[in-house]
């Protein structure tokens, strides 16, 4: 049996769809299970324990290019079951056109009503469960029911090759040394950037957090600011604060994960003492790798921790911080008309610092 799962979205969306593959593997042990994904997500599936392979798909490319890509995929791998979990709806149309027998997944918009014959209707904006639970429930259309009472391990996985990790760490330490940092210290990762329209903490506050932590616990950690080219707007205030704070010089390293790629970044991140970031794919990756994580989340309903928190919610390794406000918005910030406008500023630097200190068992 061949199964193709369509999730051509961002990293976090793809990660939270992996439990589908885990449940399918339990149900069909000998199935060939593959994902259709955005190219950025490919490193997540290297040597994956329950996903046999991936096909890369650029949903923003031309229609002709997408047709060609899907044609090549079906020449190599014609699925018996196609599952739409999110991404480009055109793929569902193509699978219908090519008469794939069972077309399951999320029914929400018009194309899904037309092209999925084993679909499950969901209104995820109601936010009644976690994204991974929504995804698992899509399999009900195929008669596969997730029993929450069973202790199956459905969690997302990332395989880290020890030899390649060591090579990445060695290269990373050389980079730290070249920038005047001490590579023997522990590393705390700060990832201020994000994609989409989710509310974020102030860039300058990430800088203030590093400032206060370094003042309280001097010379214990390097502060690693991870980013890619698309995150530059989130670095401006942070850079400015660091440049104006002498005791942070030679303590902060800006780590561009786009230079050596996501696989190299994950290798280095897997050894971090802690990670701090907003609701974005990198926060989910840190969680899967078992790194102690502080996640900063919006109070808006569709952006909430109920739906978008990392999969593994172990209190010893994960803390989630949300503004202490009663947010009445479901989809997006109301702006100046909201009495709690700029609510993310209500998260104090001390709030994040306290969670980090507790997670790391630090003593002043």
Task: Give the per-residue pLDDT at 260.
Answer: 95
pLDDT digits (tens, 9 = 90+) for 241-276: 999 999 998 999 999 999 999 999 999 999 999 999
Task: Give the per-residue pLDDT at 331.
Answer: 84
Q: What contacts 150, CB < 8 A, 6 or more positions away?
A: none
Task: Give the per-residue pLDDT at 324.
Answer: 85
Task: Give the per-residue pLDDT at 199.
Answer: 81
Task: Give the per-residue pLDDT at 194.
Answer: 85
pLDDT digits (tens, 9 = 90+) for 180-189: 999 999 999 9
In the chain, the domains with their CATH numbers are: 2-142 (3.40.50.2000), 163-360 (3.40.50.2000)
Pairing state between β 252-256 and 318-321:
unpaired
Q: Residue-wise pLDDT tens for the chain (364 aa)?
A: 999 999 998 899 999 999 999 999 999 999 999 999 999 999 999 999 999 999 999 999 999 999 999 999 999 999 999 999 999 999 999 999 999 999 999 998 888 999 999 999 999 999 999 999 999 999 999 999 887 666 678 999 999 999 999 999 999 999 999 999 999 999 999 999 987 778 889 999 999 999 999 999 999 999 999 999 888 888 999 999 999 999 998 999 999 999 999 999 999 999 999 999 999 999 999 999 999 999 999 988 899 999 999 999 999 999 999 998 878 778 887 677 777 678 888 899 999 999 999 999 987 6
Task: Give the per-residue pLDDT at 98.
Answer: 96
Task: Give the per-residue pLDDT at 34.
Answer: 98
Task: Give the per-residue pLDDT at 20.
Answer: 96
Task: Give the per-residue pLDDT at 195.
Answer: 76
pLDDT digits (tens, 9 = 90+) for 74-115: 999 999 999 999 999 999 999 999 999 999 999 988 889 999
Task: Give the per-residue pLDDT at 271.
Answer: 96
Choose among 320, 314, 356: nearest CA to 155.
314
Task: Give the per-residue pLDDT at 148.
Answer: 67
CA dihedral 349→352→356→361, nearest 10 degrees, is 80
Q: What contacts 222, CB < 8 A, 6 or more positions away?
A: 176, 181, 182, 183, 185, 186, 187, 188, 251, 252, 253
Task: Give the per-residue pLDDT at 151.
Answer: 64
């Amino acid at each position: 049996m061949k199964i193709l799962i369509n999730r051509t979205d961002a990293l976090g969306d793809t990660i939270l769809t992996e439990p589908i593959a885990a449940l399918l593997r339990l149900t069909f042990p000998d199935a060939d299970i593959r994902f259709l994904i955005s190219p950025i997500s490919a490193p997540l599936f290297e040597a994956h324990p329950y996903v046999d392979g991936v096909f890369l798909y650029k949903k923003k490319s031309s229609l002709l290019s997408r047709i060609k890509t899907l044609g090549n995929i079906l020449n190599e791998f014609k699925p018996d079951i196609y599952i739409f979990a999110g991404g480009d709806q055109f793929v569902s149309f193509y699978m219908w056109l090519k008469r794939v027998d069972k077309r399951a997944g999320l029914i929400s918009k018009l194309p899904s009503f037309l092209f999925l014959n084993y679909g499950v209707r969901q209104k995820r904006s109601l936010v009644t469960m976690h994204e991974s639970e929504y995804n698992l429930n899509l399999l009900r259309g195929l008669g596969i029911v997730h029993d929450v009472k069973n202790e199956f391990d459905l969690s997302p996985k990332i395989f880290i090759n020890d030899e390649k990790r060591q090579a990445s760490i060695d290269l990373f330490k050389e980079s730290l040394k070249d920038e005047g940092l001490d590579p023997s210290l522990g590393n705390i990762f700060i990832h201020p950037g994000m994609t989409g329209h989710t509310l974020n903490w102030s860039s300058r506050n990430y800088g203030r957090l590093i400032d206060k932590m370094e003042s309280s616990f001097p010379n214990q950690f390097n502060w690693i600011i991870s980013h890619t080219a698309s995150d530059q707007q989130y670095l401006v205030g942070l850079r400015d604060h660091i440049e104006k704070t002498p005791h942070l010089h030679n303590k902060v390293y800006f780590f561009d994960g786009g230079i050596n790629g996501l696989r190299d970044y994950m290798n280095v991140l897997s050894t971090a003492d802690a990670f701090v970031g907003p609701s974005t794919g990198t926060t989910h990756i840190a969680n899967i790798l078992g790194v102690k994580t502080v996640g900063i989340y919006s109070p808006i309903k569709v952006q909430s921790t109920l739906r978008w928190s990392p999969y593994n919610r172990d209190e010893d390794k994960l803390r989630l911080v949300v503004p202490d406000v009663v947010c009445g918005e479901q989809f997006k910030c109301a702006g100046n008309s909201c009495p709690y406008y700029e609510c993310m500023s209500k998260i104090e630097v001390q709030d994040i610092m306290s969670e980090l200190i507790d997670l790391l068992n630090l003593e002043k």
